[in-house]
Amino acid sequence: MNTSYNEAARYTAKQIVPEAFLRFLLPSVFLHWRWLGWDDSQTVSFPGDPERRCDTVAKFERIDGTRPPVLLVVEFETEPGSDMAPREGEYRLRLRRESPFQTEPRVPYDVVGAIVYLTGPAQPATWTMTPDDFAGLTMTITARVPCFRDESAMALFDAITAGTTSRGLLAWVPLMSRSDTPTAIKRWVELALAEPNDRIRRDVGVFANAFAPLNPRPDLWQAALEGWQMKTSPFLDEIAREATQANDGRRGRQMVMAMISARLGASIPEDIRKRITTEQDFDRMLQWSLAIPNLSSFDDLRTLMDT
């Protein structure tokens, strides 16, 4: 599966009404905790991938002030993988050890996690390592593991209509159940067009289009989103600016990959991926970023990169 789906999911969660996404992910948490924002955890590398830093680490504080803040690591994967739970568990322990809440005296965070699979069946919330006949010793990792295809698009539409959740969640609808019919898509369009915030309205279209290839009827979604107000997006313009300001280049290249996936909605060909990963000229990357929302094919992108 294309890892750009994962990147698009991270940006969707982080930039399009993020508190609404966190309430969707962990509704009961907000009875006792409030979200403070995204923690700066970029000094801690993700296990098995030293070039990547997890930028979706949410910080929560206890409303009654009785405990130190908690960090929630949110990881996105296109499809279930056998090693994701232990990798995320290792990352949580690294984060607790290397980025304490307070250093003098030392107070570590409690660090918990969620693994969000964009496709596939429901996965167990608990991963356990228990050797046979070994004194009952075990290691267990528990995470919130939602399953998008078990979430009803129609139920989300009803909640949005009732005013109990944000239209920003519309970006995720192509991943949900009952989202592959003309009736569902018509209702999605009506709700999305009613969003008064230009940025949110445009961005839910951009990223619904990015996730459309994962829907059972991508043709319906692509037809509905053709001509959507996606030619420019303040969010994507911001990504382009960040790409030129990135210190290490890795983040900038990841963002350009996500933009391509969002616009073209397909697996990025190897020659284009290689060109992006080796590009060092950030002025050139800026030009690509500003032009990507207007492209219609990978051949157009190749022409852009060759000029």
For helices 198-211 and 182-193, angle between their N-to-C axes, nearest 10 degrees? 160
234 or 125, higher pLDDT: 125
Alpha-carbon span 235 to 10, nearest angstrom: 13
How high is the pLDDT of residue 241? 53
Alpha-carbon span 273 to 40, nearest angstrom: 28
DSSP-derived pairing of the beta strands 57-62 and 49-53: unpaired
How high is the pLDDT of residue 268? 85
Residue 179's Cβ-count burial label (10 Å; 0-12, 13-18, 19+) is buried
**Three-state DSSP class for 138?**
coil
In this structure, the dihedral spanned by the alpha carbons of residues 196, 200, 203 and 207, taken in order and rounded to 10 degrees, is: -110
How high is the pLDDT of residue 151? 95
DSSP 140: E
How high is the pLDDT of residue 64? 95
Of all residues in the chain, the percent with pLDDT exceeding 90 is 50
With 60 as the cut, is the pLDDT of residue 73 above it? Answer: yes
DSSP string, 8-34: HHHHHHHHSSHHHHHHHH-GGGGGTEE
With 50 as the cut, is the pLDDT of residue 244 above it? Answer: no
Cβ neighbors of 119 (< 8 A, separation 6 or more) are 1, 78, 79, 148, 149, 175, 214
37 or 250, higher pLDDT: 37
Question: Among 9-23, 71-85, 136-150, 217-231, where is mean pLDDT lowest?
Answer: 217-231
Query: Torsion-angle region of residue 44: left (phi > 0), alpha (psi -120 to 50) or beta?
Result: beta
164 or 265, higher pLDDT: 164
- Mean pLDDT within 34-59: 77
- Mean pLDDT within 240-262: 62
- Mean pLDDT within 126-140: 95
Q: How confident is the model at residue 130 (pLDDT cuts 50, 70, 90)?
A: very high
Q: Where are the beta strands (DSSP E) in the chain?
A: 33-38, 45-46, 49-53, 57-62, 70-77, 102-103, 106-107, 110-117, 126-129, 139-142
**Global pTM?**
0.74
- Mean pLDDT within 207-212: 89
Q: What are the residues facing 69 on neighbouring strands? A: none
With 70 as the cut, is the pLDDT of residue 303 above it? Answer: yes
- Closest alpha carbon to 180 in 228, 214, 226: 214
- Mean pLDDT within 95-117: 91
Question: What is the number of other CB atoms lying within 10 angstroms of the CB of residue 21?
Answer: 25
Residue 19's Cβ-count burial label (10 Å; 0-12, 13-18, 19+) is middle
- Closest alpha carbon to 306 in 293, 243, 298: 298
With 70 as the cut, is the pLDDT of residue 234 above it? Answer: no
Contact 206, 198 (CB under 8 A): no
What is the rounded average pLDDT for all residues in the chain? Answer: 85
How high is the pLDDT of residue 240? 47
DSSP 166: -
Residue type, 256: V
Chain segment 154-195, per-residue pLDDT in tens: 999 999 999 999 999 999 999 999 999 999 999 999 999 999
